[in-house]
Structure formats: structure tokens, C-alpha cells
Structure 1
Amino acid sequence: MRAAQTAPHLVTLIFSTALAVLSLNMFLPSLARIAEDFGTSYGLVNLSLAGYLGISAVLQLIMGPLSDRFGRRPVLLVSMMIFTLASLGCVLAENIWVFLGFRMLQGMVVAAQVLSRAAIRDMHSASEAASKLGYVTMAMALAPMLGPMLGGALDMLFGWRSGFVLYTLLGLGVLALSWGDWGETNHNRSATFGAQMRSYPELLASRRFWGYSFCLAFSIGGFYAFITGAPLVAAAWFDLNPAQLGLGIGIITGGFMVGNFVTGRLARRVPLITLIIAGRLSAVLGPLVGLSLFLAGQGATLVFFGSAIAVGFGNGLTVANASAGLMSVRPHLAGSASGLSGAIVVALGAVMTTVTGVLVTPSSAPFMVLSIILISSCCALMAALYVRWLDIHEPLEEIA
């Protein structure tokens, strides 16, 4: 197969990003079965999730600068090859430590998510990149909705290892697709990796980059708080069965997809920061109204999950636009910006998950969950308003 010479098509970027998301959550229904099969504790097996998130955060810091120096294509292909081999290693693992070792190596797939965003920014202006990212994010949002259902079905039919067989096959498929379609998009590389790393402080010194990054991180942080606290709210307050809970959690993803569709349609005509602020207002208004109704004694299932729709829609208006914005601050460091912001999102997501788990109790569940989401959404709004302030007072730094 001849190596690609042209920029990757949108479908290649969507499949690459979706696989990175699937690698996180498709196997989650099998955690108990994995623990039983290896004769170990659930807590130890849970490292396959917690450790994976930690490794992913570190790798995102590395993959971006590597792709800025050596190009998107070679870093992506090597990462997908390692992911595929690691997935096969998980299939063949005979003890928990071998399994966990290969599971950590699967974290290399995070390069697909980082580099897809960077490649889009390489190919398009900031507004056009936001539009493309909106469509990519909308399509890949199906992965967290469908992944656990698919993983659970495979476990029931063929055992937990079948999920990792599918990872192996998907890895091979994306590797072949990327080899044939993913031409290099980074044509402004540093002469050496040392020179690349010396230019990194340019990014770290940009206040606009940090504004976009914290807006993105707190936006997604609210989602982490919701999916952490929603099961307890459903069980303690509304007596929902797992299927109903799954539908309720899916609602926020549905709102997210609609918001991304709107971004795809409007990003070429409306400034990035305008869409972001509109999204943050929606994400603040939803939990604010929901919390007020619960405090007034009018809380109900539709009130709680309806608040999440507003948050999901707001995130749909925010994520693609903030991602395009932070990668446009220093276009020659787009990969580094994508990786660093991704690490910030994962780190804050871990904090939000932990805080929600500690603070939420059966008696206070809906009040506390909506409060945490509201605080997170307000922090994201303040970050967006800070970027807007920079746009007004430092126009020389405006993105292209």
C-alpha cells in the first residue's frame, strides 16, 4: 500500500478520534469479570481505568511536541501500531500484571485524538477548524454512548477478552486507514526536537492559551461531575433501573451532539468566543434553574436530567471552538497545544470525579451534583470572558 501524500479526509479523523474514546470505556462493563478471571480484587483491576487516564495525560504532553517536530503522520502510525500490539497483549495476558502492563500501553491511542485536532488546525483557519472539529466531535460523541453497550454485549456472548480482540481489529483498521489516507499536514517543523522544546515556553506564556484551556477543562469537568453523581441521584431519589439511568446519561451526550452540529453550521460566520460564551451561558442556566427547582421542592427526574441537556448543549458550543482557539494562539505549536490542553482536561476531570464522589451523599445527591456542575460551568464562563477581555485589550494577539 502506497503511503498517503494528501491531507487526511474527515472520516479518517473521525474514526481515529472515536477509537481513542472507545479505548477508555468499551471494556468498563467487564471489570468485575476481569477481576474474577484473574482472581484479584476489583480495586486492582480498576487501575486499568485510573492508571490508563494517568498515562494518557502524560502521553498527551509528549505526543503534541513530538508531532510538531517530526510530523503528525509518523507519530500517529507508530502510536497506532503500539496500540494494536498492546490490545493483542491484553487478549493473551495470563495474569493481572501482564494485563495491566499492556493496558497502559494501550494509552498510546490518545495520539489519535491529539493529532486529529492538530491536523485539522494545520489544514484550516481558526473558524474553519472550529467548524470541522464540531462535526468530528459530534460524530465521535456516539462512541461513549455505544461503547459500554457494545462491550457489555461482547462480554455476555464471548467473554471479556472479546472486547480486546475488537480493539485489536479496530486498531489494525485505523492503522491501515491512516497509512493509506493520512498524509502529512505539519509543514512547519522545527530543525531539532531540542529547538521544538525551547519554543514551548511561547505557548506557556500565552494568557489566551490558558484562558481557552481552562474554559475547555471546566466545561468537560462539569460532564465528569454529572456522570459520577447521576447514578447515586437515580438510585437514591428516583429509583431508576439501569436502562433508564443509561438513557438519562445519554441525554447529556445528545445535547452535546446538537451543540456540535450548531457549531459546525455557525463557526465560519460567528466568532469563536461568541459561540463559546453562548455555550457557557447555557451550561450555567441549566443547573441554576434545576438547583432552584430542587430547593423549591419541585425537583423531579425531568428537572435533573433536563438540566444536563442544557450543559451538554453548552459544551457542544464550547469544546470545538475552544480547541480551535487554543491551537490557534501559536499555530506552529498546534500539536503541543492540543496535547497540553488534553492533559489539563484529563487532570481536572480526575479531580472533579474525585470531588463529586467524596461530597455527594444519598440525602444531598441532586443538590450537590447540580451545585458542582454549576460551579464548574461558572469557572468555564469566567475563563471565556477572560479570553474575550484579552481579545478587546490585546488585539495584536488575535488569532488567524
Structure 2
Amino acid sequence: MQNKPQVLFLDRSTPPHISTLIVLAGVSALAMNMFLPSLPQMAEHFDVTYAFMQLTVPLYLGVSAVIQVIIGPVSDKFGRRPVLLWGIALFVLFSLICVYAPNAEVFVFSRMGQAAIATGMVLSRAAIRDIYEQDQAASMIGFVTMGMALVPMIAPIAGGALDQLFGWKSVFWAFAIIGLLTFLMTWRDLGETAQSSGKTLVEQFKEYPELLRAPRFWGYTLSAAFCAGAFFSFLGGAPFVGSELFGLTPFWVGICLGAPAIGYAIGNGVTGRLAQRVGINRMIMAGSIINAGGLTVSLVIFLLGAGTPLSFFGFMTFVGLGNGLVMPNATAGLLSVRPHLAGTASGLGGAIMIGGGAALAALAGSLLTLESGALPLMWIQVATAAGGLIAIISVFRRERRLGLA
């Protein structure tokens, strides 16, 4: 649609209000990191090692990746609204199972089930692309993710505080209550945005090769995946670094885990204001440079033996800033490669990003020991940041070769 659609809040006969899209994306982010300060306490409760309990991070991300592969074509076929409502309902159910899990195995399984909330992240973006053209979609995604940036900033702090006051189970009660409120808001406000494809579900899945053959799709997807990889590896390793290496309490671990979100909020605000004027490719390039630069400086500080909690967590704000510039613009780019496959593209792009994040989170968690310090995590982050730069440079070179730049 070229013109701005009429939107009425809590009226499902119109497209969703931006506040609903912010909430949907925000709850997806909330589920990812609010429980992280409680990992040591949960390991103690279930009498398992920290390494076993840390598996809840990569396994959650892995299931989220699988869901995103499936959810795109399903939502292109059946619509954004019903798929979102089912995803939120399952999130509430599995949050309650986490509370009453009798052992670590059931808890880990239920934590994987919580990944159903990934539908909120994927389909809030797809809904924006249903409504707006590419550069305007980048601005809208930027504003949505700027609003939701407060969630990963506050969520670990809130999770750490809940843990210290009421125990780790209170975090999962909070998940269930927030999920229920989100379901009610979505039910009342989210009007359908997808145009019926008229194709069977099998035909929808058969359109994946159309995306996989598109170089621009891969360029935007990999630039987002590698940039986000620095953040996901942080999720996998930072709780150990904060609690075991630096001896921080759950509350202060939560405070420090919110550091990337400060930069993320700023980056998304810049995207919302400048994407239409500057163009998505230049925004992605700037974000990739900032991401790589901040991580490289942080690594050098540790190699010189001067690393501290302030330097380790403080420089993560550059990762957040870089992601705030890269993610909404790269997302708008990959959604615009084949606009009629916006849901499929959002799901596939998200799956590649989250799947890579799951692998990196698992790798970071497995390599960190008291003897190694934080260096394995930092080397992983620098390597992924370099991959993001290479990906967006390839997009620039291809467009210059085709005379599009």
C-alpha cells in the first residue's frame, strides 16, 4: 500500500496499531533474556550443572528458528492474526508448565515450548511490510524496535529483582501474566494485514527456493545474522562472565545484561528518523562498522590485561547501537526482495538469524571456563562482526556492478 492506512486502536477491522506491534515484538524479546540472571539459581534448584541449565538458551533459540521457518508460509496462507493468537496462547501454556516442572528435563522442554512467542517478532515485521513500502517499512520497523528496545534493557533487571525478592519461579509467572495480557490486546486490535495467496500450504513452502536463489536476500539476511550473532553469543556467555568471573549478584548481572539495549534504542531511533533519507544499505554499513569497532576495542583491552566488568559490559552498548542500525534496515531489505512472500521471507530470515544465534550461544557457553576468562566469547563476537561487514559489502559491490548504486 502506498498511502498510510487508517488505523484505529483496539479495532480489529483495521490494521494493527503500532503499540500492538511494539508489544508483540517486545514480548518476544522479553522471553529471550528476562530469565538469564536466574540461571545459576535454577541449576541449583534442579540439582544440575550450570552448563546443563545454560542449554535453555541455545535450545530455545533453535526451536525458535524452526518455528520461524514454518510460521512464515503458514501466515502467508492463513493470515497473521490466527497464527499470532495461537503462538501467544502456547507461550502462556508453556510458561505455566515451567513453573510446575518437576525436574530439569521437563523444565528445559517447556522452555523450548515458550519459543512459540517468536511468532510475535516475525509477524509484527511481516505486518509492517504488508502495509508499507521498503524504505517506509524500515522506518516503521525502526520505531517499533526502538520501543521494544526498552524491553531487553529492563527485562534482565526485572528478572534479577524478581529472583532476589520472590525466587526464580516468579519470572515465569510474570511470563504467563504478560502473555495473557498480550493475547487479549492482540485479539482486540490486530486486524488481518496479509492478502490471501490463494495457494495451498505445500505451494507456499515450495516458494522458499525463490528466496534462496536471490543474492539480495542472502546479503541482507547474513548481514543481520552476523551482526545479531555478537548479541546472541553474549546471551549465551555473559551470565557466566558476570556471575562466575566477576562475582556479580543476579540483580547486577541483570543490570549489566541490559547494556546492549541502551545502544539498541538509540540505533533504532536513528533508523526511524533517517532510513528513508539515507537508504537502508548505508545504514546497515554504518551499523556493521560500529558493531565491529566496539567489539575490537573491547577485545584489545582484555588482551592487554586491563579488562573489567565496566569495559566488558560497557562496550556492548556499541553492539546494541550497531544492531539498532542493522536489524530494521536489513529486515526491510530482505522483506522487500519478494514482497508477495513477506511472511515467508521474515520467517526464513529470522530462522537463519536465530539458528545461527543458537549455535553461537551454545558455543560461547561451552568454551567459557574460569581459566579461559571472557576471551573465547570475545573472539566469537569479533569474528561474527567481521562476517556482517563482509555481507553488506557484498551487497554494495553487487548493486554497483548492476548499476543500481
The answer to whether the 8 Å contact 2:160/2:254 transfers is: no
- Asked if 1:197 corresponds to 2:205, the answer is yes
SS of 1:258's partner is: helix
> 1:229 & 1:310 partners in 2: Cα distance?
17
The answer to whether the 8 Å contact 1:229/1:365 transfers is: no
SS of 1:185's partner is: coil
Q: Structure 1 residues 317 and 328, CA, compared in 2 at 3 Å: closer, same or farther?
A: same
Structure 2 length-normalised TM: 0.86
**Deviation per residue, 1:154-197 (Å, 9 max, x gap):** 34444443333322222221111111111111115242112212
* Structure 1 alignment gaps of length 5 or more: none
**Deviation per residue, 1:206-225 (Å, 9 max, x gap):** 11111111111110111233
The answer to whether the 8 Å contact 1:221/1:348 transfers is: yes
- For residue 344 of structure 1, what is the amino acid of its counterpart? I
Q: Which of these residues, 243, 258, 262, is aligned with residue 266 of structure 2?
A: 258
Q: Which of these residues, 264, 267, 271, is aligned with residue 275 of structure 2?
A: 267
> 1:175 & 1:335 partners in 2: Cα distance?
20
> 2:233 & 2:52 partners in 1: Cα distance?
23
The answer to whether the 8 Å contact 1:71/1:189 transfers is: no
Which residue of 2 is the match for residue 166 of structure 1? 174
- Asked if 1:285 corresponds to 2:293, the answer is yes
Instruction: Name the count of aligned residue pairs.
Output: 396
Which residue of 1 is the match for residue 128 of structure 2? 120
Shift in Å, 1:379: 0.9
Q: Structure 1 residues 107 and 260, CA, compared in 2 at 3 Å: closer, same or farther?
A: same
Q: Which of these residues, 115, 118, 121, is aligned with residue 107 of structure 1?
A: 115
- For residue 166 of structure 1, what is the amino acid of its counterpart? A
Which residue of 1 is the match for residue 150 of structure 2? 142
Shift in Å, 1:289: 3.6
Query: Which deviates further from its counterpart, 142-151 or 215-224?
Result: 142-151
> 2:250 & 2:48 partners in 1: Cα distance?
26
Q: Structure 1 residues 344 and 78, CA, compared in 2 at 3 Å: closer, same or farther?
A: same
Q: Which of these residues, 312, 335, 338, is aligned with residue 330 of structure 1?
A: 338
- Asked if 1:15 corresponds to 2:4, the answer is no
The answer to whether the 8 Å contact 1:120/1:129 transfers is: yes
Q: Structure 1 residues 297 and 28, CA, compared in 2 at 3 Å: closer, same or farther?
A: closer
Q: Which of these residues, 223, 230, 234, is aligned with residue 222 of structure 1?
A: 230
Shift in Å, 1:327: 0.8
**Deviation per residue, 1:252-279 (Å, 9 max, x gap):** 3211211111111101211100110111
- For residue 380 of structure 2, what is the amino acid of its counterpart? I
The answer to whether the 8 Å contact 1:68/1:190 transfers is: no
The answer to whether the 8 Å contact 1:232/1:362 transfers is: no
Q: Which of these residues, 374, 388, 396, is aligned with residue 382 of structure 2?
A: 374
- Asked if 1:86 corresponds to 2:94, the answer is yes
**Deviation per residue, 1:269-315 (Å, 9 max, x gap):** 11100110111122222233444555567666655455433332122
SS of 2:276's partner is: coil
SS of 1:6's partner is: coil
> 1:88 & 1:299 partners in 2: Cα distance?
40
Q: Structure 1 residues 308 and 48, CA, compared in 2 at 3 Å: closer, same or farther?
A: closer
Query: Which deviates further from its counterpart, 134-143 or 303-312?
Result: 303-312
SS of 1:268's partner is: helix
Q: How does 1:303-382 map to 2 (within 5 A)?
A: 303-359=311-367, 365=373, 368-382=376-390
Query: Which deviates further from its counterpart, 73-82 or 261-270?
Result: 73-82
> 1:323 & 1:212 partners in 2: Cα distance?
7
The answer to whether the 8 Å contact 1:133/1:264 transfers is: yes
RMSD of Structure 2 on Structure 1 (CA):
3.1
Structure 1 length-normalised TM: 0.87
Which residue of 2 is the match for residue 61 of structure 1? 69
The answer to whether the 8 Å contact 2:135/2:280 transfers is: yes
Query: Which deviates further from its counterpart, 375-384 or 182-191?
Result: 182-191
Query: Which deviates further from its counterpart, 112-121 or 128-137?
Result: 128-137
> 1:190 & 1:109 partners in 2: Cα distance?
27
SS of 2:16's partner is: coil
- For residue 283 of structure 2, what is the amino acid of its counterpart? L
- For residue 348 of structure 2, what is the amino acid of its counterpart? L
Q: Which of these residues, 208, 211, 218, is aligned with residue 219 of structure 2?
A: 211
Q: Structure 1 residues 67 and 231, CA, compared in 2 at 3 Å: closer, same or farther?
A: closer
* Structure 2 alignment gaps of length 5 or more: 1-9
> 1:229 & 1:99 partners in 2: Cα distance?
20
Query: Which deviates further from its counterpart, 221-230 or 312-321?
Result: 221-230
Percent of residue pairs bearing the same amino acid type:
45
The answer to whether the 8 Å contact 2:59/2:112 transfers is: yes
Query: Which deviates further from its counterpart, 318-327 or 83-92?
Result: 83-92
